[in-house]
Structure 1
Amino acid sequence: MLHKGNVVRTMAVVLTLVLVLVFTLVPLWARAQEPGTRNLRQGDRGPDVTEVQRRLTRWGYYFGPISGTFGAETLRGVHLFQRRNGLPVTGIVGPLTFAALGIPMRRDVPAPNRTAAVTPGGGVNPNDMHMLARAIYGEARGEPFEGQVAIAAVILNRVRSQKFPNTISSVIYQPLAFTAVADGQFYLTPSSEAYRAAQLAINGWDPSGGALYYFNPRTATSAWIWTRPYIKTIGQHRFLR
C-alpha cells in the first residue's frame, strides 16, 4: 500500500509530465496550422485552409463557405486557380501554389539570407533561371537588351528587399505583380537572348540602378506607380525605387 507522501509525489510527477506535454505539443500544433507550414490537400482542416479559402474567394476561384475545411468545393477552386495560373494541376496546395497565392512557404530552419540567395556570380538553380528568362521574355521582348537585363535585376532586387518575398518564384508569382503572369505571356518559351539577360543579371549587372518597380507609361493604369521615385528610362520602361 502506497504511503500518502508517495501518492502526492507520484501525482506531482504525473501532473508535471502532462504540463510539459501540453506546453510542448500545443505550440507545435498551432504552428502546423499557420499558412505555408505544410502542404494542404482535401480533408485537411485549420486556419491555413481558411486563409487559402479567403484568397481564392477574393480572386473569384472559390464560392463556398470560409470553413477551414478542405472539401470538394475547395479542391475545385484550387484546381481552377492552378490551371489558370499555369501551375501543375494537382489539387495540392504546395510551395508553388502558396507562392502564387502570395503566401511564402515557411520552414523550421532559418530563412535563407536574401543577399546570399542571389549573390552576383553565385548562380541560381535551373528552375529559377528559367523563371527569370520567362519573365524577361514575357515582360520585355522587343526591348533593348539592357532593358531586358534591367527587368531581371528588378526581380532580384525584390528578392533582396524586406518589402517582398525572398525567392525568385515567390516574387514572380505575387498576385498582380507582373502583367506577363496575369495575361499568360509568362508561359511562352523564352528566347536565348532572355536567358543571356537573366544570366547577366545574376552575375551582378543592374542597369535599373537598384529599381524595385518599373512600368510602361503608355499602358500603365495605376496612379500609384507614378508616385514612386524615378531612376531612369530604358526603352519603353521607367524604372523606379
Structure 2
Amino acid sequence: MRKFIISLLVLSLTSGACFYYYKAWTTESVLSRYGSRGQEVKNIQYQLRKWGYYKGKIDGIYGWRTALAVRRFQRKNGLRVDGIAGPQTLAALGLPTGRSTAKASTSASGNVYLLARVINGEARGEPYIGQVAVGAVILNRVEHPSFPNTLAGVIYQPGAFTAITDGQVHAQLESSSVKAARDALNGWDPSGGAIYYYNPAKTTNNWIYSRPVIKRIGKHIFAK
C-alpha cells in the first residue's frame, strides 16, 4: 500500500511538473530564441541588419549570428542581455510582441515623441533616410562631450535647432517622423556619425562650412 501511495505521489508531482513546463513553454512560445524559425525571425533579422547589428542572411533561422546580434542590440538599448527576443526586445525593435508591454512602451514613449517632434520640425519633407539621419545627429550629440548629455538638453540647447526657435517643432506630427525617431533611437545612423547638419540653401552661419563634410542626404549636408 505504501509503495502504491508513493507511486501516486511521484506520478502527481511528475504530472504537475510536466504541466508547469508545458504551460511555461506555451506562455513563452510568443518569443523567438535560438532554434526558432519563421517570419517573426525574418522580421527580427531585417530590423537588426538595417541598424547594423546583424550581418547574415534574412533566412528566418534563429541561429548563433542572430542571437549574438540580439545580444548586441539589447546591450546597446539597456535591455536584459540574454539573446532572446522577448516582449521588451520586440517592442524596442518595433515589432509585435504578442503580449502587453505597456510599461516598456511608456518608458520609451517620451523620448520617441520628443525626438519625433524635432525631426518633424527640422526634416519634414526630406527623404526618410534623411529624417532618420537628423534624429541620429541629435542622439550623437547626447554622446558627444561638447554637448549636453541628455536628449532634452541637446534639443533645447539655445540656438541649436531652428525648429525650436521658429515653432516648427509644434507642426502637425507626421507618422514618418515617429518611425524615424524609433529607428534612430534603436541605433540606425545614416549620418555616418555626424554631429552637425545644415541646408546650404538656407543657413547663414558661415562657421558651419568649416566642419568636415561626411555626406549629403536630400537637402541636408551632414558634418562632424
- Tell me the TM-score range normalised by the shorter chain: 0.5 to 0.7
Give, in whole Å, the separation in 2 of the partners of 1:223 and 1:120. Answer: 37
In structure 1, the residue matched to 2:140 is 157
Q: Counterpart amino acid of 2:76?
A: T
Distance change (3 Å), C-alpha of 1:130 and 1:222 = same
In structure 2, the residue matched to 1:213 is 196
RMSD: 1.7
Give, in whole Å, the separation in 1 of the partners of 2:78 and 2:173. Answer: 22
Which structure is higher in helix share? 2
Identity of counterpart residues, as a percentage? 54
Distance change (3 Å), C-alpha of 1:162 and 1:223 = same
In structure 2, the residue matched to 1:184 is 167
Give, in whole Å, the separation in 1 of the partners of 2:197 and 2:146. Answer: 16
Match of 1:204 among 179, 183, 187: 187
Give, in whole Å, the separation in 2 of the partners of 1:169 and 1:189. Answer: 20
In structure 1, the residue matched to 2:76 is 119
> Secondary structure of 1:149's match?
helix
Q: Counterpart amino acid of 1:214?
A: Y
Give, in whole Å, the separation in 2 of the partners of 1:121 and 1:142. Answer: 32
Extract unaligned runs of 5+ from structure 2: 1-74, 80-91, 93-106
Give, in whole Å, the separation in 1 of the partners of 2:189 and 2:149. Answer: 18
Give, in whole Å, the separation in 2 of the partners of 1:203 and 1:144. Answer: 19
In structure 1, the residue matched to 2:117 is 134
> Secondary structure of 1:239's match?
strand
Extract unaligned runs of 5+ from structure 1: 1-117
What TM-score does the superposition give when structure 1 sets the normalisation length? 0.49
Give, in whole Å, the separation in 1 of the partners of 2:150 and 2:199. Answer: 25
Moved over 2 A (4+): 118-125
